[in-house]
Amino acid sequence: MINYRLFTALTSELAQGHLITFPGSALLLENQLRDNPLIAELVAQAEQGKLADTRFGCGPFSRITLLPLSVWQDSLTDSLLTHIRPLFAAPVCEDVLLDCSDIDDTVLAKTLRFLFNQAHKLTDLGLKTVGERGVTLRRVNAFCAGTDASRLERVFAQQQAIANGMVAARRLADIPSEQCTPQFVVEEAQRLCATVPNLRCEVLDESAIVEQGLGLLHAVGKGSSRPPRLLAIHYDGASSGPVRSYVGKGITFDTGGLWLKEGAGMYTMKYDMCGAANVLGLMLSIAELKLPVRVMGVLALAENAIGPNAMQPGSVARACNGMTVEINNTDAEGRLVLSDAIAWASKRHEQTRYIIDLATLTGAVVKALGYELSGLMTQDNTLRSALTVAGEQSGDEVWSLPLDARLKKQTESAIADLCNTPTNNAAISASAAWLLHHFCPAYIPWAHLDVSGTALWREGGKSVASGRPIPLLMQHLLNDLAVEE
Rounded to 5 degrees, φ, ψ at 87 are -65, -25
- Catalytic residue list: 261, 335
- Give the integer Cα–Cα distance in Å for 332 and 363: 11
Q: Is the sign of the CA dihedral 402, 252, 302, 276 positive or negative?
A: negative
Element (H, E) at 5: strand 3-7
CB neighbours of 203 closer than 8 A, spacing ≥ 6? 186, 190, 229, 230, 231, 232
Contact 434, 325 (CB under 8 A): no
Q: Is the sign of the CA dihedral 59, 63, 66, 72 positive or negative?
A: negative
CB neighbours of 199 closer than 8 A, spacing ≥ 6? 193, 233, 234, 235, 283, 284, 287
Nearest to 448 by CA among 466, 425, 427, 431: 431
Q: Is 220 exposed, middle or buried (0-12, 13-18, 19+ CB in 10 A)?
A: buried
DSSP 250: E
Residue 234 bridge partners (DSSP): 200, 296
3-state percent breakdown (helix, strand, coil) of the chain, nearest 5: 40, 20, 35
CB neighbours of 400 closer than 8 A, spacing ≥ 6? 376, 377, 378, 384, 388
- Give the integer Cα–Cα distance in Å for 97 and 213: 55
Report CA-CA distances (Å) from 202 to 186, 294, 298, 299.
Answer: 9, 15, 9, 10
Rounded to 5 degrees, φ, ψ at 194 are -60, -35
In the three-class reduction of DSSP (H, G, I as helix; E, B as strand; rest coil), residue 435 is classed as helix
